[in-house]
Amino acid sequence: MRGRAAAGQAVIAWLGEYDVTDRLEAVLFDMDGLLVDTEPLWFETETEVMARLGAPWSKADQERLLGGSMRHTVGYLLAKATRPATPAEVARWMMEGMLRRAAAGRVVIRPGARELLTEVAVAGIPHALVTGSQREFTEAVVASTGLTFTVTVTGDDVTRPKPDPEPYLLAAKLLDAVPENCVALEDSPNGVTAATAAGCQVIAVPSLIPIPEARGRLVVPSLSVISLATLRALSARSSKPSP
């Protein structure tokens, strides 16, 4: 804990001094690749499904789908397929594969995730899970990890998934929070684009693809260096008028 606190203070120092006025209304968390290390499970499942479709699968293919929706994933797989299948069949194969892996206890929580969620919850700050995964798999992950959220927004709850801002705008609305006073944590470029477009301040923890720093965005190597104080600092810093 001491190492995490020291790392968090270093990040706050990088952010600079900030107004003590608390503007943080809510914290919004992505799931796959950020809170839980499910990207290897997605790769295995995609590879398995593509074998049924008669085509190879690569890490480059997975990177093209990072942070995307099931509909986009299914369309991409079918575009590479050499054997016939319906979108519904491919979606079912994907879900069955992921649920099987989750039931086998293979969902691993990423470093710092549980600690940060606990700190946010103890402080009484509303927090949401905002994921492109379908609700059935999301609920399996939540059940297997014991992670809890005030609100959960899944890919089944929106008509326009990430990189559209709709998932984050919906989460903020459900939490009765102003998006500009929310901090979103993401691991993918699609997710960062969605949160930024919604008006949130963003902390990026890149998983498979590098994410550059930008105004209103903090890029860190791990959730282990993030604390509630970091979230407050980013929110307060972003609310200052430009010089």
Within a 10 A sphere around the Cβ of 113, how many other Cβ atoms? 24
Structural domains counted in the chain: 2
Q: How confident is the model at residue 5 (pLDDT cuts 50, 70, 90)?
A: low
Specify whether 49 is located in the same domain as 128. Answer: no
User: How far is residue 32's CA from residue 240's CA, in Å, rounded to a whole number?
Assistant: 32
Q: Which two structure tokens, joined as six digits, stand for 33?
A: 């690749």
Report the C-alpha dihedral over residues 219, 224, 9, 30, rounded to 10 degrees.
Answer: 50
Whether residues 28 and 56 fall in one domain:
no
Question: Measured in whole angstroms, how far is the alpha carbon of residue 233 from the centre of its chain?
Answer: 20
DSSP letter for 241, please.
P
Higher pLDDT, 63 or 237: 63
Domain boundary among 63, 84, 103: 103
Q: What is the pLDDT of residue 99?
A: 97
6 and 73 housed in the same domain:
no
Q: What is the pLDDT of residues 160-197, one digit of tens each?
A: 999 999 999 999 999 999 999 999 999 999 999 999 99
Sheet harboring 182-186: ordered strands across?
A: 151-153, 127-130, 26-29, 182-186, 201-204, 217-219
pLDDT of residue 147: 96
240 confidence band (pLDDT: 50, 70, 90): very low
| Residue whose tokens read 């479709």 | 53
Owning domain of residue 211: 2-37+107-239
The predicted model gives 83-95 an average pLDDT of 97
Nearest Cα residue to 38 out of 117, 89, 88, 113: 113
Range 117-124 average pLDDT: 97
Q: Are residues 163 and 188 in the same domain?
A: yes
Known catalytic residue: 30?
Answer: yes
pLDDT number for residue 243: 34
The CATH number of whichever domain residue 188 belongs to comes to 3.40.50.1000
The catalytic residue among 19, 22, 30, 157 is 30
Residue type for position 171? A
What is the model's pLDDT at position 15? 58
Q: Which residue has the higher pLDDT, 11 or 46?
A: 46
